[in-house]
């Protein structure tokens, strides 16, 4: 096949510049020594990174986000793995309807989900609580895990399991020694994707978070809505570094393209 | 799990539907009566027409631009050396993992009146006064294109990978110029990907919240930010719920029509 010509290369370079521009700008701005947003920065200073420490709001919000994402991703994984096993290999009626239901949070616009959760939590009386927020996040991130685990369940070789059963292994042993190890990459990938989704979620959370349960994206959003100082840029830079570290770890474990494109497509 | 989804997803959505029929009084709060008054208010007011028109205009523009950039990019991606391809895949996918708030903040810094873009253009002498990009629909489209491009590139790339590479080689050996190969061979093969990518991009852009809220501010509202305003500022929940329901139905109608049209026109040809 022919390689790309000069025009194609220029196009790709421009594209890369476009994709990376806002990220570079945010990181650049966060090192400014001045009190306003400036790019390129006139000097290098860690002033705005020290300022994060003086704003406990952001740190509290980051801890809430971290806790929320950890619990929501883990709970959703515990729910999604049996569901994926049942949907992936069972042949009961309503299987497709069940899958459609579990995937449906991806189809409903997030604004609609946000107000629906707010209305529900208010009527039940747990609006603004961490528990309420956690339940909502479990619903939002489940489809991401289900999709990846389902892909690895479908790719599973049933013969190995039958062999184990024939040799006298109990159901639990088969699951622990055969099934679980073969779908583990899918589970890990799904968990990470769910974690990132929950950690970055804004549109739903902006409706259901209360001042005492504000997550990091919501905190940053309301900060940007009021004022733009380099403080949000330095918080963003820390968040970007955190994401990059996580991405590198995932790439080692699972392969980033596999995680985001989903198996079967590539 | 079924219980959780029934309780946490279906019940809230139904409650919202009911809520959109309730009355609202500034002093008494949300009433328990059912009427179409909220829908009549939204559908009878030019202000809301403007908001919905803007929402779908922005979504359409974003979809078209994403397709125009995504198709050639996915094609070039296919023709790269493995090393450069993995670099470009990282460039395409990486931003997906970074919070939309962070990325939009970047665009806000770039697009501001004293921002990076206006500064550069003025330094080059191309413009005399800053162009207004923040708080404009154009700015929202630009930032949304950035958020949505990965979805389009992935969809088109997946379609091209299923395509037959020898067709391109055949066209080339028969003396076709790159542009002809692109138009006559690559584009038709990429079409299924473009169509499914457009569907995702359009639906996500029409319901996007963070980007229009930050770039558009309070002046340039779209449906999602209008809903947020009714819920968090005006506190007229029933009216907000009615706007959200209209948005939901409108997006679903567009998606269904689109799928039907695609199936009727090209579905069999590409199946």
Q: For chain A, what is the mean pLDDT?
A: 87
A126 at interface of B, judged by CB pairs closer than 8 A: no
Q: Which residue does chain B place closest to A22, by CA atoms?
A: B106
The predicted structure's pLDDT at residue A215: 95
Which residues of chain B does A247 touch, with a Cβ-Cβ cutoff of 8 Å?
94, 97
What would the two tokens of residue B52 be? 């919905």
DSSP secondary structure letters along B216-263: ITTTS--HHHHHHHIIIII--HHHHHHHHHHHHHHHHHHHHHHHHHHI
Most confident residue range from A221-225, B61-65, B179-183:
B61-65
The predicted structure's pLDDT at residue A21: 93
pLDDT 10s digits, A109-137: 999 999 999 999 998 888 889 999 999 99
**Exposed e or buried b per residue across B212-246, where buried means at least 16 C-beta atoms within 10 angstroms of its C-beta:** bbbbbbeebbbbbbbbbbbbeeeebbbbbbbbbbb
The predicted structure's pLDDT at residue A260: 62
Residues 6+ away with beta carbon under 8 Å from B204: B147, B148, B151
Residue A259 has pLDDT above 80, yes or no: no
pTM assigned to the model:
0.88
Residue B268 has pLDDT above 60, yes or no: no
| Alpha-carbon gap, residue A43 to B91, rounded angstroms | 28
Inter-residue long-range contacts of A123-129, CB under 8 Å, 24+ positions, other chains counted: A123/B15, A127/A208, A127/A210, A128/A208, A128/A209, A128/A210, A128/A212, A128/A213, A129/A210, A129/A213
CB atoms A233 and B105 under 8 Å: yes
pLDDT 10s digits, A235-253: 999 999 988 888 788 777 7
Most confident residue range from A87-101, A112-126, B75-89, B159-173:
A112-126
The predicted structure's pLDDT at residue B243: 94
CB atoms A109 and B244 under 8 Å: yes
pLDDT 10s digits, B114-137: 788 888 888 888 888 888 888 899
Q: Report which secondary-structure segment, H or E, holds A152.
A: helix A130-154
Nearest residue, CB atoms, B76 vs list A4, A18, A236: A4
| Alpha-carbon gap, residue A55 to A235, rounded angstroms | 10
Q: Are A183 and A152 in contact (CB under 8 A)?
A: yes
Please name which of B191, B207, B161 lies closest in space to residue B270, comparing C-alpha atoms: B191
Nearest residue, CB atoms, B109 vs list A4, A25, A123: A25
The predicted structure's pLDDT at residue B242: 94
Nearest-Cα distance to chain A for B204, in Å, is 7
CB atoms B95 and A119 under 8 Å: no
Nearest residue, CB atoms, A239 vs list B102, B158, B247: B102
What ipTM is given for this predicted complex? 0.87
Secondary structure of chain B: what % helix, strand, coil (to 5)? 80, 5, 20
Nearest residue, CB atoms, A25 vs list B73, B97, B116: B116
Name residue B29's beta-bridge partners.
B25
The predicted structure's pLDDT at residue A2: 60
pLDDT mean over A200-212: 93
Residues 6+ away with beta carbon under 8 Å from A196: A69, A243, A246, B97
Higher pLDDT, B67 or B268: B67
Please name which of A218, A212, A148, A141 lies closest in space to residue B8, comparing C-alpha atoms: A141
């Amino acid at each position: 096949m022919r390689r790309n010509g000069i025009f194609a290369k220029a196009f790709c370079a421009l594209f890369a510049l476009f994709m990376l521009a806002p990220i570079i700008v945010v990181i650049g701005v966060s090192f400014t020594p001045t009190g306003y947003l400036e790019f390129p920065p006139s000097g290098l200073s860690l002033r705005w990174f020290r300022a994060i420490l003086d704003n406990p709001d952001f740190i509290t919000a980051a801890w809430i986000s971290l806790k929320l994402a950890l619990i929501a991703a883990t709970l959703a994984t515990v729910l999604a793995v049996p569901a994926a096993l049942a949907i992936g290999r069972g042949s009961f009626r309503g299987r497709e309807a069940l899958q459609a239901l579990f995937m449906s949070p991806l189809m409903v616009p997030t604004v609609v989900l946000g107000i629906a959760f707010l209305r529900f939590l208010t009527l039940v009386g747990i609006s603004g609580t961490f528990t309420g927020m956690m339940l909502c996040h479990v619903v939002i991130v489940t489809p991401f895990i289900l999709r990846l685990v389902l892909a690895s369940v479908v790719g599973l070789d049933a013969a190995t399991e039958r062999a184990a059963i024939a040799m006298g292994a109990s159901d639990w042993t088969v699951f622990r020694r055969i099934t679980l190890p073969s779908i583990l990459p899918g589970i890990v990938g799904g968990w990470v994707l769910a974690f990132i989704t929950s950690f970055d979620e804004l549109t739903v959370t902006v409706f259901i978070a209360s001042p005492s349960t504000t997550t990091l994206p919501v905190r940053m959003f309301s900060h940007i809505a009021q004022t733009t100082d380099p403080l949000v840029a330095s918080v963003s830079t820390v968040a970007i570094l955190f994401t990059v570290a996580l991405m590198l770890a995932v790439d080692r474990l699972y392969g980033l393209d596999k995680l985001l494109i989903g198996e079967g497509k590539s | 799990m079924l219980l959780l989804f029934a309780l946490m997803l279906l019940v809230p959505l139904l409650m919202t539907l009911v809520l959109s029929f309730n009355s609202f009084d500034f002093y008494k709060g949300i009433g328990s009566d059912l009427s179409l008054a909220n829908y009549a208010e939204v559908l009878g007011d030019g202000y809301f027409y403007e908001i919905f028109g803007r929402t779908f205009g922005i979504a359409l523009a974003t979809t078209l631009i994403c397709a125009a950039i995504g198709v050639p990019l996915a094609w070039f991606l296919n023709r790269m050396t493995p090393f450069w391809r993995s670099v470009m895949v990282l460039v395409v996918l990486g931003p997906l993992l970074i919070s939309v708030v962070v990325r939009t903040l970047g665009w806000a810094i770039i697009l501001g009146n004293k921002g990076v873009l206006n500064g550069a253009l003025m330094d080059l002498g191309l413009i005399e006064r800053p162009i207004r990009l923040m708080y404009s629909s154009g700015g929202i489209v630009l930032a949304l294109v950035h958020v949505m491009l990965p979805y389009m590139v992935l969809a088109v790339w997946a379609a091209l990978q299923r395509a037959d590479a020898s067709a391109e080689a055949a066209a080339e050996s028969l003396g076709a110029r790159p542009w002809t190969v692109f138009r006559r061979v690559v584009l038709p093969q990429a079409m299924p990907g473009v169509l499914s990518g457009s569907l995702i991009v359009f639906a996500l852009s029409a319901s996007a919240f963070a980007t229009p809220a930050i770039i558009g501010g309070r002046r340039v509202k779209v449906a999602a930010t209008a809903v947020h305003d009714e819920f968090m500022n005006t506190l007229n929940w029933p009216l907000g719920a009615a706007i959200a329901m209209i948005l939901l139905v409108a997006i679903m109608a567009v998606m269904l029509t689109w799928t039907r049209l695609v199936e009727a026109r090209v579905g069999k040809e590409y199946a």
